[in-house]
Amino acid sequence: MTFSKTLALPLAAAVALTTAPGLAATQAATCDVTPTADGSAARNRGMRTNDGGGGIGGWASRRVTGFYKTVIGPAIGARCALEPSCSQYFLEASRRHGLLGFPMTADRFVREPVVSAPDRPYVRGADGSWKHPDPVDDHDFWLPTPQLTLADDFADEGDALDAARQWRAAESQTPRERTGDRAAMLLCAADAYWRAREFGGMGRVLDKVEADSAMSTGLESEIALLRMLRAEGMREWASAADWAETLAETRQDEAEARRARRIAAGNWLRAGLPSEARMTLRGDEEALRTLATHEARKPASPRLGGALGLVPGLGYAWAGEWGNATRSLFLNALFGWAMYETARRDEWALFSVSTFFELTWYTGSIYGGIDAAERANRRAVEKTAAELLDGERIPGFSHAATRENDGGAAPEGGAAAVPLLAVGVEF
């Protein structure tokens, strides 16, 4: 049985990726594998090796830990001299080994004053203090630790960062000659880092894959896709455009390549380089017409927006932000009236306070007019980028997992989530 991870790139993922932060973390996990008897990795949704999901023990540990952290912990303060803390140790042990987490934690309480590895250097704990390192790994090495299943469990719980760490741990324990499995695990780690918006870790993982030709050969599309995601997440639009063009070059299907080039064009527009977008779209007449319409539009002038902002709310209104315009006008009128009334009554202390707030709202109206013009220009770019992708705006990337002989699963997001790219990694 072969597990295939598919990254399906919908029509307008690049448009919505950075405009809706956090949406990526809500997507379902797809790197979901557990080791088989022969040492290979196979799909095993619903079956937890050694209660890797925690089962009753995991459920109980989350409740006990939650009660401790919210009720007992704040009352007694940080007292643990080990890293991770006893509560975090209990949670992780229970996630890995279910009910066995309880006696493992009891053992930890007994030996806490005596560090099991005194020769190790101190580490900084979550509170910034120096602590003795005492991870769960030091005390369950003789137990089978299903890290692949554990990575899936973390992802299912929305803990993408810990899922990424488990993928990396699994890769480090995989024999070096199994380059295919190692590459797939690292790409799953990169995907999890992206969901956690931890772009530094994502870059390091991709660097590791690319540094080993035995791992990277044949995965050019996957790497380009993830590199593009990382660049978009970091708002490095020119780099994202370059990677989208690389993605287009790796696709055999012309429709997929064309859509990748259109994503690249959208990123060139975000980078403020419409000439590069035009070069990318050469030969695509429909997309070039959309781009020409965008270039024919006169951009909003921030200077004019600021000047109009001298009249409270007018700069916002000119940029089409009527709600902001109404609030700005109301607040300036309110504090202007307060200045008048306090001056008329010779209440100069209150007059000073009213004047301070009025000046704040008035200068905010001027700055808001400038910023509203910039936002209007950005909205125009996003609108054009969406139109280049046929006007369909899909929030985030849809991921689907498939398995031989079970027909696979459809991409998330409903009928609108038509995949642009489907790049598979087999274990």
Phi-psi region of 173 (alpha: psi -120 to 50; beta: other; left: phi over 0): alpha
Q: What's the total number of domains in the chain?
A: 2
408 neighbors 1 (Cβ within 8 angstroms): no
First CA to last CA distance, the chain:
9
Residue 6's pLDDT is what?
A: 41
Region for residue 276 given its phi and psi (left: phi exceeds 0; alpha: psi -120 to 50; beta: otherwise): alpha
Give the whole-angstrom CA distance, residue 100 versus residue 57: 8
pLDDT at position 16, please? 28
The CA distance from 60 to 71, in Å, is: 16
Contacts of 291-297 with CB under 8 Å at 24 or more apart are: 291/265, 291/384, 291/388, 293/384, 294/269, 294/380, 294/381, 294/384, 297/380
Residue 408, in any domain of the structure: no
Q: Provide the pLDDT for residue 110.
A: 73
| pLDDT number for residue 216 | 85
Among the candidates 145, 170, 187, a domain finishes at 145
Rounded average pLDDT per 10-residue block, the chain, 427 residues: 36 29 30 34 30 55 73 69 81 78 80 57 73 75 60 78 87 80 88 92 93 86 92 93 92 88 94 93 91 91 94 93 93 94 93 94 93 92 88 35 30 32 41
Domain contains 56 = yes
Domain boundary among 145, 171, 200: 145
pLDDT of residue 70: 73
Which distant-in-sequence residues (6+ apart) come within 8 Å of 346 by Cβ? none
Beta-bridged to residue 83, according to DSSP, are: 133
Can you name the residues that pair with 401 across neighbouring β-strands? 5
In a domain, 419, yes or no: no
Structural domain range at position 114:
49-145
- Whole-Å CA distances, 39 to 154, 232, 247: 22, 36, 33
Which contiguous run of DSSP H or E holds residue 280?
A: helix 274-280
Report residue 84 CA to chain centroid gap. 25
Q: Is residue 4 part of a domain?
A: no
Name the domain boundary from 130, 145, 160: 145
Residue with tokens 């001056």: 343
pLDDT of residue 301: 93
The predicted structure's pLDDT at residue 370? 94
At 119 the pLDDT is 59
CA distance 246 to 225: 9
317, 368 contact by CB (below 8 A): no
Tell whether 71 is covered by a domain: yes
Is there a domain that residue 382 lies in?
Answer: yes
Note the pLDDT of residue 80: 76
Residue 306 domain flag: yes
Residue 224 included in any domain: no
